[in-house]
Amino acid sequence: MSPFAQATLQALLLCSDEKVVRVLRRVLTDLEIGVEHCTHLDLAIQKLTRQRFEAVIVDCTTPVIAAKILKGIKSAPANNRAIAVAIINDHEGLKRAFELGTHFVLMKPIELDRTKASFRSVRALMKRERRRHARIPVELSVKIHLERAGRTLHVHTADLSENGMAIKTRVQLPPSFSLQFELPGSSTDIQCRGEIAWEGRPLQGIRFRDVPEHASAQLKSWIARQLVSDADDPPVNCRLTDLSLSACYLETESPFPVRTRLQIAMRVGDLELQAEGLVRVMHPGSGMGVQFTRTSEEESKKVENFIHALVSNEGSFPEVEVKPDSIDNTPEAFSEGRAGGDKDDPLLSLFHLGAELPADDFHAELHKQRGASQEVPA
């Protein structure tokens, strides 16, 4: 077993409904997720401040209590990246739950099969977020290039993660700089920008910025090899219903939350399309609207070729598999510069303008668009 093997995923459950608790215990046990059950707010808050959880599940029957625990997640340093799951009574509670920062919702009555389907995506994201922020103790040589000072510092790391590293130095670093290091056991040279995330002499935390795509993939792969017991879950299977050059809509019982960055694989016949996307719209238990984030001319051409292949194979449906990469909570995630895409794309425009529509109204608009376009068989 790897020295960096991870403990069982842990969830905190705040709920006093015995029927709901019984179903959730069975689902979480089947998915190998440990559960700490609380029936009182004070105990739940206490656990949030003292233990680490990958998910926090809250019964929103009492809105005031739900608000306190969901807001408490964000203020608890050990759990501010936990996946928040809200249990709601009806569709009226849906908007309120998402406004409080919920990632997933479960609608009462809680049914075993539907809940397990939803939690497959919850679990995949729990594992992905834990791996993304896992810090591997390792000593590496790092070159830090201080452009304004015209010199290069040679330092060593204390740990490494997908997002950054802790380095050993007492030198006061500028807010931004470039850095370079080599992954152990490989010839991969990682070059990117860095910025100070925290200071605690003699250690300083560095956050990576502008990591090239190939280097990011190598870094993720290296981290994954150190966490062999924490392998990603199988991809979520989806049904493609709508596709444009800039976006797609995927039907699935287990949609990922808004702001989730996804790796998407689509296949029809012998043609395969690999794409990266950002969830713009999410309808619980129904589907999600995804905007493509790689929008170069070459990437757009690949999507265009895939659309032509679908049209040529009328009546066939592509295989679609989706894996989560991360939840992007940065303010820039939905900015025009970061998100990209064709502003004249009807499907993408619907994601922008119809995100707040009830699911039935949104799907009605999707149906209208399909009537006006024959790009993808519905």
Torsion sign across C-alpha atoms 293, 295, 296, 301: positive
What are the helix (H) ranges across 134-212? none
- Structure confidence by residue, pLDDT tens digits, 258-269: 999 999 999 998
260 and 324 Cβ atoms separated by less than 8 Å? yes
For residue 242, what are the contacts with CB-CB under 8 A and spacing of at least 6?
Answer: 248, 249, 347, 366, 369, 370, 376, 378
Q: What is the pLDDT of residue 145?
A: 94
Q: How far is CA 276 from the centre of its chain?
A: 12
**Do β-strands 260-268 and 271-283 pair in parallel, antiparallel, or remain unpaired?**
antiparallel
Structural domains of the chain ordered from first start:
9-133 (3.40.50.2300), 136-226 (2.40.10.220), 236-372 (2.40.10)
Q: How far is CA 321 from the centre of its chain?
A: 15
Residue type, 180: Q
Name the residue among 93, 44, 37 with its Cα closest to residue 65: 44
C-alpha to C-alpha distance for 162 and 150, rounded to whole angstroms:
28
Here the tokens at position 196 are 């100070």
Here the tokens at position 334 are 């939905």
129 and 326 Cβ atoms separated by less than 8 Å? yes
Dihedral-angle region of residue 150 (phi above 0 means left; psi in -120 to 50 means alpha; beta otherwise): left
For residue 206, what are the contacts with CB-CB under 8 A and spacing of at least 6?
Answer: 164, 165, 166, 167, 179, 194, 195, 196, 197
194 and 145 Cβ atoms separated by less than 8 Å? no
C-alpha to C-alpha distance for 319 and 268, rounded to whole angstroms:
7
pTM recorded for the entire structure:
0.79
pLDDT tens for the 378 residues of the chain, in order: 344 445 589 999 999 999 999 999 999 999 999 999 999 999 999 999 888 899 999 999 898 999 999 888 888 877 888 999 999 988 778 888 888 889 999 999 999 999 998 899 999 999 888 888 888 999 999 999 998 888 999 999 999 999 899 999 988 899 899 999 999 887 778 999 999 988 887 899 999 999 998 888 889 888 888 876 556 678 889 999 999 999 999 999 989 999 999 999 999 988 999 999 999 999 998 999 999 998 789 999 999 999 999 888 877 789 999 999 889 887 777 765 444 556 689 999 999 998 888 889 999 999 998 866 544 444
Beta bridge partners of 177: 194
Residue type, 287: G
